Amino acid sequence: MKMKHLGVLGLALILAVALAGHSTPAGDRQSPSDGIAAVAGEGCTVIIVGKDASTDGSVMTTHTCDCGLCDWTFRRVPAADHKPGATRRIYHVSQYRTWPPSEGLKWDLIKKDYAGIDIPETPHTYGYIHGSFGYMNDKQVAIGESTIGCQKRMENPTPAAKLDLTMLTLLGMERGGTAREAIQVMGSLAEKYGYGFHDDGEMLAVADPKEVWIFEIMPVGPLWTPESGKPGAVWCAQRVPDDEVSVCPNESRIGEIDLGDKDRFMASPNAVSLAIEMKFYDPQSGKPFNWKRAYSPVEGSAASTNGGIQRLWRFFDLVAPSRKIKPETPNMDLPFSIKPDKKLSVQDVMDMTRDRSYGTPWDPLKGIRGGPFKNPNYFNRRAPRVIDDGRAEYTTVTQSRAGLPDPIGGLVWISFGSQDTACYMPIYAGVTDIPKSFSVGDHWTFSRDSARWAFDYTDFHVQVVYSEAIQDVQAVQAKYERDLVARIPEIDQQALALYKKKPAEAAKFLTGFSLNNAQTVVNAWWKLGDDLLVKYNRLYLYDAEKRTYDRAKPALPEWWKKAVRAFDALMEPDKK
């Protein structure tokens, strides 16, 4: 092959590698730590905001359910009173398993996976909203989840572990009237009945209108049995300061702990002793006990892993740029929480869930990665993991707000599919029902009855001409999301006026508002998908109102044409 000018050859080589798919897969990048590396590079991002760090005094959590094949359905479980001697049946619930819609809903079919025990029921269980996990109950206790992994020897997939994470969050929703209470409920039940089976190291952000905690729980190994008399789980929780924010991007966040400080820490009785027993910590070393270094170490930094674990650094870079935290800082040395440069609104948090690390060394549009229409998804399976990488089943943003009755103060904002092309829809804690379209559908069966498919339908059409179509999406998001965020205080006051007269009327109003808004948004996204198909059909630009089309638009950028020509030149056979 004849060599051309070095600049052209270099560009062509880059293009050839990109198109051939020979770049290093994400799973083959430098691993942060054995046994935990795969977790650190994939999965859910949880953003946590203390009440004095938010613009309206609300405590916020998020959860990006990033899976690509998991169940996306939601349901509401009503509050209930139980007779003395009643029991609660325990099921094994996999975060990942799904069933064909023809067989029924996941939340009915899990009853086939009986864990083999029934535990004593409490006199009263709170009502709550849940998807893959419990998200908010009618006392405004909220949860966001992120898998963090643990040392390999701690895993316990045996039947002795009766509680996995999903089941644990449902019990926390049912029995926890405050964040602290929910943590104690989940921790004590896991100690007694054993934790693991489907899950290993997990983090939950647990919030109420006053405070928010990072709660981390792990199994204690496959040899545990109830007869041992030892706790069947190890867990620790640390409170996020009211004026600070934090994040969990699939990495343990709790470092050194002070169990004498009851206002900031809670833990199982074996929090330190298990680490000594398993030789993860040597008390004779002279070093203080560090939870994450003992149980879930993830070595490396954003820079040293080529962005493989850059979400932790990226969050701090977004909320406190004045701190100028360097991407070379080891993740294990980054702070537990941080005071943001400015207080965050719920819209700020929603926007942060859409972050793609643009402008950083791990920009998914760097070079030619985004193709001619700057699509951040083209390279996402081989690129460093960003906060919004397009694989989300759904994302939640919860608000727990003091000063309002619980049915009005609690909000779960739900966005289906990839955050950048979807829309957050509010569901109040006081609703008596949720949209039917939220409770049906799966990846393998297209359904116009499923809300999720409306957003995937639009998302699919955006991918073709991303840089153009995303602007159309953002315009519709402004109408159905940003405008509504601004209107929420008005809705609150209308509900409050009704609540003071008759709580049942407020519940009816909030249910009607939540359901009607969701249906309006879902309908709008079905139409948006239709409109995008027409507007950018065959890569021309059709104007439906004027009934005209422009064959020159959306125009391919000149740099892309040059790259194609360079590639063609590289592939030409040598000319003698």
Question: What are the tens digits of pLDDT across the range 503-534?
Answer: 999 999 999 999 999 999 999 999 999 999 99
- Is residue 123 reached through a cis peptide bond, with omega within 30 degrees of 0 on the bond before it? no
Dihedral sign, Cα of residue 256, residue 260, residue 265, residue 270? positive
Model confidence at 4, in pLDDT bands (50, 70, 90)?
very low
Any residues with CB less than 8 A from the CB of 91 and at least 6 apart, and which? Answer: 110, 111, 113, 114, 115, 167
Per-residue pLDDT, 12: 43
Model confidence at 382, in pLDDT bands (50, 70, 90)?
low
Indicate whether 302 pLDDT > 70: yes
What percent of the chain is predicted at pLDDT more than 90?
Answer: 85
Question: What are the tens digits of pLDDT across the range 321-367?
Answer: 999 999 999 999 999 999 999 999 999 999 999 999 999 999 999 98
Per-residue pLDDT, 27: 30
Question: What are the tens digits of pLDDT across the range 56-75?
Answer: 999 999 999 988 889 999 99
Q: What is the chain's alpha carbon radius of gyration, rounded to the nearest angstrom?
A: 25
Q: Which two tokens stand for residue 90?
A: 């325990």
Per-residue pLDDT, 28: 30
Per-residue pLDDT, 16: 42
Strand order through the sheet with 142-147: 75-77, 128-130, 134-137, 142-147, 202-207, 212-218, 234-240, 265-267
- Cβ proximity of 355 and 395 under 8 Å: no
Any residues with CB less than 8 A from the CB of 28 and at least 6 apart, and which? Answer: none
Model confidence at 390, in pLDDT bands (50, 70, 90)?
confident
Is beta strand 142-147 parallel, antiparallel or unpaired with respect to 202-207? Answer: antiparallel
Q: Which of these ranges, 221-225, 389-393, 494-498, has the smallest mean pLDDT?
A: 389-393
| Cβ atoms within 10 Å, residue 8 | 17
Indicate whether 18 pLDDT > 90: no
Per-residue pLDDT, 67: 86
Burial class (CB in 10 A: 0-12, 13-18, 19+), 210: middle
Mean per-residue pLDDT of the chain:
92
What percent of the chain is predicted at pLDDT more than 70?
Answer: 91
Per-residue pLDDT, 572: 81
Average pLDDT over residues 432-458: 97
Helix or strand (DSSP H, E) at 395: strand 392-400
Residue 90 identity (one-letter amino acid): I
Q: How many residues does the chain have?
A: 576
* Contacts of 344-348 spanning 24+ positions with Cβ under 8 A: 344/49, 344/53, 344/54, 344/55, 344/60, 344/245, 344/319, 345/54, 345/55, 345/56, 345/485, 346/54, 346/56, 346/58, 346/60, 346/397, 346/399, 346/413, 346/485, 347/482, 347/485, 348/55
SS3 132: coil
The reported pTM is 0.92
Q: Which two tokens stand for residue 257?
A: 């702990």
- Cβ proximity of 493 and 506 under 8 Å: no
Question: What are the tens digits of pLDDT across the range 305-334?
Answer: 999 999 999 999 999 999 999 999 999 999
- Cβ proximity of 26 and 32 under 8 Å: no
Per-residue pLDDT, 381: 61
C-alpha 351/C-alpha 420 separation (Å) is 9
Nearest partner of 305 among 38, 103, 13, judged by Cα: 38
Q: Which two tokens stand for residue 225?
A: 């049995």
Q: Which of these ranges, 118-127, 145-154, 223-232, 560-569, has the smallest mean pLDDT?
A: 560-569
Question: What are the tens digits of pLDDT across the range 493-510?
Answer: 999 999 999 999 999 999
C-alpha 474/C-alpha 497 separation (Å) is 34
Model confidence at 35, in pLDDT bands (50, 70, 90)?
very low
459: number of CA atoms within 13 Å, CB side?
A: 22
Nearest partner of 241 among 49, 45, 410, judged by Cα: 49
Per-residue pLDDT, 205: 98
Per-residue pLDDT, 1: 39
Model confidence at 29, in pLDDT bands (50, 70, 90)?
very low
Dihedral sign, Cα of residue 305, residue 257, residue 169, residue 518? negative
C-alpha 109/C-alpha 562 separation (Å) is 55
Average pLDDT over residues 420-435: 98
Per-residue pLDDT, 7: 45
Cα 183 → chain centroid: 20
Q: What letter would DSSP give residue 275?
A: H
C-alpha 301/C-alpha 310 separation (Å) is 7
Nearest partner of 129 among 120, 119, 142, judged by Cα: 142
Per-residue pLDDT, 552: 85
Indicate whether 41 pLDDT > 50: no
